[in-house]
Amino acid sequence: MTHSGIKIINFDDQWIKEFKSIKQVISKSLSDLIINIEHVGSTSVKGLGAKPVLDIDIVIEDYDVFPNVIQALEKIGYFHQKEWSFEGREAFGRKNTSTPWDGKGTKWMEHHLYVCNKDSKELARHIAFRDYLRNNPEAVTEYENIKRTLAKTMKDRTSYTSGKTEFIKKILEKVMD
């Protein structure tokens, strides 16, 4: 185990497959309420080592549909985490490892689920950062090295996350207007 309790593992193609399966279950339940479902975060970038936790952003038109989105997500095992939410990014937790409930008792890998309106700055940052990494292999290598070093040297998740901030900000300054 690492110093911080965070373990970075090599990229796994299973992460992409798992995202597609989760997306399918969520899409089926929220089809007319959402615009898209995006796989963001390190597990969405081929070749990038990461914590084996998916980050998923559900994109909605605007907050008018949000109460219906909450209800639809509750039906498949999620719950709204207001304390982890902020404007433009609403967080959802899982009731158990079978969430999203697909009627088959599937056990899904760990994932973080967020609902973002289409104009959300957070959504724009997630996609811009992901797309930059997908198109810049040297940045992938640099970012993975930073993450592995932090996982070994930082004492907790907060320090680990803070340690990545400078790199992320540098990339976002390049790609965001």
**Considering the domain boundaries, does residue 156 fall inside one?**
yes
> Does residue 19 form part of some domain?
yes
118 occurs within a structural domain: yes
pLDDT tens per residue across span 28-86: 999 999 999 999 999 999 999 999 999 999 999 999 999 999 999 999 999 999 999 98
- Both tokens of 9, joined, read 């593992």
Strands (E) located in the chain: 36-40, 54-60, 78-86, 89-94, 111-117
**Nearest Cα to 27, choosing from 124, 121, 127, 100?**
100
Packing angle, helices 121-134 and 137-153, rounded to 10: 110
Asked if 53 and 111 touch (Cβ cutoff 8 Å), the reply is yes
Q: Is residue 98 part of a domain?
A: yes
Take residue 57 and report the two structure tokens written for it. Answer: 């952003």
> Given a cut of 50, is residue 173 above it in pLDDT?
yes
Q: Does residue 3 fall inside a structural domain?
A: no
Phi, psi (rounded to 5 degrees) for 89: -150, 105
Residue 104 structural domain: 14-175
Does residue 28 sit within a domain? yes
Summarize the confidence of residues 12-26 as an average pLDDT. Answer: 98
Task: Supply φ then ψ for residue 145, to 5 degrees.
Answer: -60, -45
CATH code of 99's domain: 3.30.460.10
**7 assigned to some structural domain:** no
Structure pTM? 0.94
Section 154-173 average pLDDT: 93
Structure tokens at 35: 């615009």
Assigned domain for 4 exists: no
What is the tally of structural domains in the chain? 1
Closest residue by Cα to residue 114 from 43, 36, 31, 52: 36
